Each structure stands twice: as C-alpha cells, then as structure tokens.
Chains A and B, each alone.
Chain A
C-alpha cells in the first residue's frame, strides 16, 4: 500500500471528527443531565399507564386529534375506567400545567420541537 502513514493518520482524524459529539458530551458530562419531570397533580394516574404514556403519548394525542376534529368523537375511556374529554388544552394541560418542567424536559433532551403550542395555548406556569 502506498502512503500508509498518510492514510492511517487521515482515517484517525476522520474518526475523531465524526465521533466528536459522543466524546465531547462524555467529557463535558452534558449528556449525563437526564430530563427531570415535575408532576404537580394530585391525580394518581394519567389516562393510560405511565410507561405507555411515556413512549406513546404522541400517538395517543394524534389519535385524539383526528377523532375529535374529523370524527366528532369527544370522549376517551382510560384504562382506569374513567371517561376523559379528548382535549390537549382542557384535559392534559389541566394536570400538566407546567410545560417547562414537564413537556419541554424530554422534548429538549431528545431534540424534538412539536408545533402544538403554535395554536394550543400554554397555561400560565404554576410551580
């Protein structure tokens, strides 16, 4: 192989650069700050179990949205048997009225910016 030294050095520099975000975060410890959710409601359970809400709330919200707007269905029977009005503003945000300490925590961590809040009104922060 010609120019072995140059190629190997080049490859090492390339690998260093491409893995930059990984080791940069490892060194500065930024990735270690996990999102901390603050739940300020007295309710024991959300409309579904916590693990389901954690990974599928976006699917649930989209289902709610389509059912309410397009099918005129307004009520949702949660797994606890209770009936809820399907409404982001009037049901979800009643308990989770602290967007900055709840929604934004994970959304910022994973780098998603849902556009719900362009139209749906954020309640005033209560801590």
Chain B
C-alpha cells in the first residue's frame, strides 16, 4: 500500500469533509412537520394575575373553595395540621401583617377587618419557592404562573419553608380516601409530594378561566393579563386602591385585594 504523505492528507481531507456533511444535510433537509403542538384554544397572557374584591365577597359563601377543591381533587383531611390548601380563607390580621398604620381607615374598609379574606397562591413574580427547589419541580412559567411538576417533587418541603404565604402543602399521607368527589379527568396527588394552586393551567389550555373565578356569583374574583392595559384586572387596579400580601418581602405577589 502506498503510504505516502500525499495519500494520508487526501484521506484526512475527505474525512474532515465527511464530518461537515451532517449539519449540512440537516440544514438542507425539508423541515418535518412538528408532532407536538400547543393547544389552539388556549388563553394566552404575558402576566396572569387576579384581583380579589373583598367588598363583593360574601362572608358565608364557599362557592370558589368548593369548586376548586372538586375540580382539582383536593382532599379534606379534617384537621388543620394536615390541611391541603389550594384556595382558603384567612382573617385580615393574619393575611396582611405590616399593613397597619394610624390612618389605615382612610383607604381600607374597617368593617372588612373582621372578615375572612380569600387566599390562594400569589404566583409571585419573584417566587422564593422556585429559588429553593432543589429538583426544579416548581418553576415560573413565561406567563407568570408558578407551576408544580409532581413527577419531580421529592417532598423535601424547602418550598414550604420558602413560601411566606403558606400556599404550599405536603401530602403527609395518601390523599385519595379523603377526596369527597373525584374528578376523573384530573389526577390526584400521592403521598410525599407538595401541592399548590396552579392557577388552573389545565383549564387555561382549554380556553377556560380559572374554576374559582367562574364559580364566584358575586364577581369578586377577577382574572386577567396584567400586561394588557385594556384587561379587566388593569382596569380594577386603575380604579381602586389595592393591597397585596406582604409586599415588603420582595416576592412581588400577583394577587391584588380591594379592601
């Protein structure tokens, strides 16, 4: 065999050309149709948020709570220590510490102080739960929703320690026996994962507004895109004084309360 330098260089040159051909082939190939597509009916927003009008909220009404829990298979374990919270009620003093000042009566309806406020995950712009999660089981979506991937959750509860609003709950035991009415279309959770409100991301994908908003007969809950200046939520922020839970912590909560 002729092992001259010349043949070696020839072979080496062609081999190098061969390496370059793969990306070339890729670039020239006809693009295949994508197999995975987003839902065409989905509601899309840049910054989903909610305004809760506590002046309209009825004290003894449980519609939003009941609907949410039914849609998402939220168990009722019957004791506050094991409670799984997606949407719940909390008195004013517990929900808004640090809001107090001498002249608060000028902008907050003092009669509301004794009433129960509607609480849910604040879908923070700067979510501490996301920062502490070691497995990226929780993350902030581009539209602002703080999502949970139960498949990845290892139940370490760092997020529960990180969340200053108590919006996250661990399943200490199998929740299935404690679900009153099972929604067959939505999964339950299992023992050892943390769960929270998902702003009805599964309904948004079908073009529906969150279940709690739909359930509220008084229209006390309003859902919308804060980045859209013509949205109902932006209109409410323009026309009303609103407060948020613990804004001094810098988490930038996206649930606004008219009180």
- Interface presence of B22 (CB below 8 A): no
- Contacts A/B (CB < 8 Å), 20 sampled: A67-B36, A70-B139, A70-B149, A72-B38, A72-B141, A72-B201, A72-B205, A74-B37, A74-B39, A74-B42, A76-B36, A76-B37, A77-B37, A86-B36, A118-B190, A118-B191, A119-B187, A119-B188, A121-B184, A123-B184
The verdict on B106 contacting chain A, using a C-beta distance below 8 Å, is: no
Does A27 sit at the interface, judged by CB under 8 A? no
B residues near A120, Cβ cutoff 8 Å: 187
**B residues near A, CB below 8 A?**
33-40, 42, 139, 141, 147, 149-151, 182, 184-191, 201, 205
Asked whether A105 is an interface residue with its Cβ less than 8 Å from the other chain, the reply is no
Task: Judge whether A65 and B151 touch: CB under 8 Å.
Answer: yes
Q: Are A77 and B35 in contact (CB under 8 A)?
A: yes
Bound-state CA distance A86–B37 (Å) is 10
Interface residues on A, range: 20 to 34
| A126 shortest CB reach to chain B, Å | 13
Q: How far is the CA of A74 from the CA of B38 in the complex (A)?
A: 5
Cβ of A123: which chain B residues have Cβ within 8 Å of it? 184
CB distance from B162 to the nearest CB of A (A): 20
Distance from A58 Cβ to chain B, minimum over Cβ atoms (Å): 13
The answer to whether A75 has its CB under 8 Å from any CB of chain B is yes
Which residue of A72, A77, A85, A119 contacts B190 across the interface (Cβ within 8 Å)?
A119
**Given the complex, which residues of B lie within 8 Å of A118, measured CB to CB?**
190-191
Is the beta-carbon distance between B151 and A69 smaller than 8 angstroms? Answer: yes
B38 touches A121 (CB 8 A): no
User: Does B37 lie within 8 Å of A83, measured CB to CB?
Assistant: yes
Instruction: Assess the A69–B147 pair: CB atoms within 8 A.
Output: yes
Give the dominant DSSP class at A's interface: mixed
Question: Which positions in A face B, CB cutoff 8 Å?
Answer: 63, 65, 67, 69-70, 72-77, 83, 85-86, 89-90, 115, 118-121, 123
- Interface contact A119-B189, CB-CB below 8 Å: yes
In Å, the complex CA distance between A67 and B35 comes to 11
Q: A65-B151, A69-B147, A69-B149 are in contact. Are A74 and B185 (CB under 8 A)?
A: no
Known pairs A75-B40, A90-B185, A121-B184. 8 more at Cβ < 8 A? A69-B151, A70-B149, A74-B37, A75-B38, A89-B184, A115-B190, A119-B189, A121-B182
Report how far A70 CA is from B140 CA in the complex, Å.
10
Which residues of A have CB within 8 Å of B139?
70
Our pick among B37, B147, B201 for the contact of A73 (Cβ within 8 Å) is B37
Cβ contacts under 8 Å, A115 to chain B? 190
A120 to B184, CA, bound (A): 9
Give Cα A113–Cα B35 distance, bound, in whole angstroms. Answer: 29
Instruction: Closest A residue to B185 by CB, please name it.
Output: A90
Give which listed residue, A74, A86, A119, contacts B150 with CB less than 8 A.
Answer: A119
Which residues of chain A are near B201, meaning CB under 8 Å?
Answer: 72
Min CB distance, A67 to chain B, in Å? 5
Interface centre among A72, A75, A115 (most CB of B within 10 A): A72
Residues of B within 8 A of A75 (CB): 36-40
Residues of A within 8 A of B35 (CB): 76-77
